[in-house]
Amino acid sequence: AQSVTQLDSQVPVFEEAPVELRCNYSSSVSVYLFWYVQYPNQGLQLLLKYLSGSTLVESINGFEAEFNKSQTSFHLRKPSVHISDTAEYFCAVKAYTGKLIFGQGTTLQVKP
Amino acid sequence: DTEVTQTPKHLVMGMTNKKSLKCEQHMGHRAMYWYKQKAKKPPELMFVYSYEKLSINESVPSRFSPECPNSSLLNLHLHALQPEDSALYLCASSPEGQGIDTQYFGPGTRLTVL
């Protein structure tokens, strides 16, 4: 069975500092990986995805994630965070059934 | 345009009420989903419609009744809910519902059951 583990439930960081949100998955088949962001009192927004091709994927707001097959990881990084990045971040893997399997989420708290 | 809309934004209902949640997308997607999300938890899949047919029901209680009138609309009919059903209800859509499909989520309906 496929599963996703987000290793940190909360990540506090100061503004303009770099951040990494960790995500590991388990799957014996081809994987399709996603990061979604949920701002307070809002729905989920797709941040970035890995389907195939280049293992480094980028979003329009400065986040990037690298698919690492040998380490079964898809960590999310940003070199310099803003207050507005404060949100809940969910890593997800697409199961062979078509379902999205979510991790438990990581709360990113950016402090001034 | 990757927009999924949901109405209402907030809903408060009693345990004997009947209400409906509505979801709409105009991206030509053929798969639509209902999720339930409790605070500080990931979304939990409830139902999947693929080409307007119910393809997945995750053993959801019968007090939740989904309906897909056409390929752009998805409703969730609510009846005799319990206080523990209070949650954020998210709708999503995707092009085909399988393979490398990407799901796009709406803003959600915040439901409170008194």
Residues A54-82 have pLDDT tens digits of: 889 989 889 999 999 899 999 999 999 99
Average pLDDT, chain B: 93
Q: Which residues of B touch A105 (CB under 8 A)?
A: 40-42
> Does the CB of B106 have a partner CB in chain A at under 8 Å?
yes
User: Which pLDDT does position B2 carry in this prediction?
Assistant: 62
The three-state secondary structure class of A85 is helix
Across chain B, where does the E strand assignment appear? 4-7, 10-13, 18-25, 31-37, 44-50, 53-57, 64-70, 73-79, 87-94, 104-105, 109-113
Average pLDDT, chain A: 92
Q: What value does the mean pLDDT take over residues B28-35?
A: 94
CA distances from B9 to A45, B6, B20, B104 (A): 17, 7, 12, 17
Residues A47, A6 contacting (CB under 8 angstroms): no
Give the C-alpha separation, A98 to B62, whole Å.
Answer: 24
Residues A25, A93 contacting (CB under 8 angstroms): yes
User: Which pLDDT does position B1 carry in this prediction?
Assistant: 56
Contact check, Cβ <8 Å, A42/B106: no
B17, pLDDT greater than 80: yes
* Identity at A6, one-letter amino acid code: Q
CA distances from B73 to A88, B22, B26, B83 (A): 28, 7, 9, 27
Nearest to B42 among A52, A94, A102 (CB): A102
Quote the tokens at residue A91. 């890593």
User: Which pLDDT does position A97 carry in this prediction?
Assistant: 73
User: Which pLDDT does position B89 carry in this prediction?
Assistant: 98
Confidence of residue B79 (pLDDT cuts 50, 70, 90): very high
Quote the tokens at residue A97. 């059934």
